[in-house]
Structure 1
Amino acid sequence: MKKTWARTIGGALLTVIGTRWALQGAGVFGTTGGMNGEPVWLLIGPVVALLGLSLLVGGIKQLRAGKQR
């Protein structure tokens, strides 16, 4: 059960982080400094977000299945 919670929380965090990276790569937060406006983050961000989303959905499914037992 602890692994399921860790998977769910980790997936949520990766989804948020990946989305933030993609938006920074798109220059949504301005174009000064660091990752802002860098096209590479438009590639890395969505990959991380999708990985996080798959972990999140899998974790939620496991949690729901555990409650039905």
Structure 2
Amino acid sequence: MKVLRILATILSGPMLLVGIIWVLQGLNILPGSFMTGQIIWAVYGAPLAVAGAGLVWWLNRGAQTR
């Protein structure tokens, strides 16, 4: 279980960050790439950001119960 927690810690931050960037670029808020203004990237980024936030929540919830 410790290996799973380490992997989740390593993955959760980038998942959340990349998901937010994709949403902002898809909604034409963050310019500067081929993804800017393409709504499909917001559709891809939203579940990725939610999954990253879920991992952050899961990791912090587990630390409080110990």
Map 1:1-69 onto structure 2 (within 5 A). Answer: 1-30=2-31, 33-65=33-65, 68=66
Whole-Å separation in 1 of the counterparts to 2:42 and 2:7: 27
Q: 2:26·2:37 contact (CA, 8 Å) conserved in 1?
A: yes
Q: Structure 1-normalised TM-score?
A: 0.77
Residue deviations 1:29-65 (CA, integer Å, cap 9, x gap) = 22x6411111101111111000111111101112222
Task: Report how many residues are paired.
Answer: 65
Deviation, 1:10, is 1.4
Where in structure 2 are there 5+ consecutive unaligned residues? none
Change in 2 beyond 3 A, CA 1:9/1:63: farther
Unaligned runs of 5+ in 1: none
Between the aligned residues of both structures, percent identity stands at 22
Paired residue type of 2:43: L
Q: After TM superposition, which residue ranges in structure 1, 4 or more long, deviate above 2 angstroms?
A: none
